[in-house]
């Protein structure tokens, strides 16, 4: 299996621009998670889906953040408008039995 | 607030020694416990999970769970320089089987 795939791997954008991060989970996994990792706050859960349905979005920091999962093999995390404090590494993870498998992450820099 | 606590380290051990990494959690009803390894600049990698009290061994790794004390640990035997990484403890709290909370991680340094 190819594992969890994320794109882009790096994103540099200016404040105010829209950013879209993409994730393809492991085939057959029915849970998908979006995390954000910073030195200050560690690894934070933003939102997770079960069978393409959002279950818990309590970690989404603001209305500027939105996530969708239109089908079992694709999810997006969108930030609009982006701000410098959104700079972080964003991870997508998927699971079937509780053990989560992470993608390589997207390093986002907002200038 | 449900919390997972880890000592940030760094924990330094000589090559060949046993490294002991510890984690405490706040919710007595927690169900599942995971250890992830994260190399610098890389994503977290699952190395162990444990659901029941006691020990679980996998190669050089042993996870130990004590639910009464709300404590989970990871032992790494015959530590190697390649084990140098940050180790993240993750706990799924009661009522949330799939949702886990991560600790901030312990940085392990294995000295050759």
Q: What pLDDT, in 10s, does the model give residues B84-100?
A: 999 999 998 765 567 88
Contacting residues for B29 by C-beta, under 8 A, at least 6 apart: B93, B94, B95
Q: What is the pLDDT of residues B98-109, one digit of tens each?
A: 788 999 999 999
Q: Which of B98, B100, B105 sits opposite A42 (nearest CB)?
A: B105
Q: What is the pLDDT of residues A25-80, one digit of tens each?
A: 999 999 999 999 999 889 999 999 999 999 999 999 889 999 999 999 999 999 99
**The pLDDT value given to residue A1:** 64
**The pLDDT value given to residue B108:** 97
The Cα B104–Cα B112 span in angstroms is 26
Residue A48: list chain B partners with CB under 8 A. 98-99
Q: Is the peptide bond before A8 cis (omega within 30 degrees of 0)?
A: yes
Q: Are A23 and A75 in contact (CB under 8 A)?
A: yes
Interface of A with B in 37-76 (CB under 8 A): 42-43, 45, 48, 50, 55-56
| Residue in A41, A93, A100 to test binding to B, most B beta-carbons within 10 Å | A100
Work out the average pLDDT over B31-48: 95
* Token reading at B66: 């004590």
Residue A43: list chain B partners with CB under 8 A. 44, 88, 102
């Amino acid at each position: 299996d190819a594992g969890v795939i994320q794109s882009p791997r790096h994103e540099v954008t200016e404040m105010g621009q829209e950013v879209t991060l993409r994730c393809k989970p492991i085939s057959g996994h029915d849970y998908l998670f979006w995390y954000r990792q910073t030195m200050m706050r560690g690894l934070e859960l933003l939102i997770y889906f079960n069978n393409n349905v959002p279950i818990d979005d309590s970690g989404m920091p603001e209305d500027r953040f939105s996530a969708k999962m239109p089908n079992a093999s694709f999810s997006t995390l969108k930030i609009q408008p982006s701000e410098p404090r959104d700079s972080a590494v964003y991870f997508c993870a998927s699971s079937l039995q509780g053990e989560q498998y992470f993608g390589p992450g997207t390093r986002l820099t907002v200038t | 607030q449900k919390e997972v606590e880890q000592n940030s380290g760094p924990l330094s051990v000589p090559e060949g020694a046993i490294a002991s990494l510890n984690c405490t959690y706040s919710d007595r009803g927690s169900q599942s416990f995971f250890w992830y390894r994260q190399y610098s600049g890389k994503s977290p990698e699952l190395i162990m999970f444990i659901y029941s009290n006691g020990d679980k061994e996998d190669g050089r790794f042993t996870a130990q769970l004590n639910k009464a004390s709300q404590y989970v640990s990871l032992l790494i035997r015959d530590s190697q320089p390649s084990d140098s990484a940050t180790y993240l403890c993750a706990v799924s709290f009661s009522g949330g089987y799939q949702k886990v909370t991560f600790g901030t991680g312990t940085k392990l340094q294995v000295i050759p």
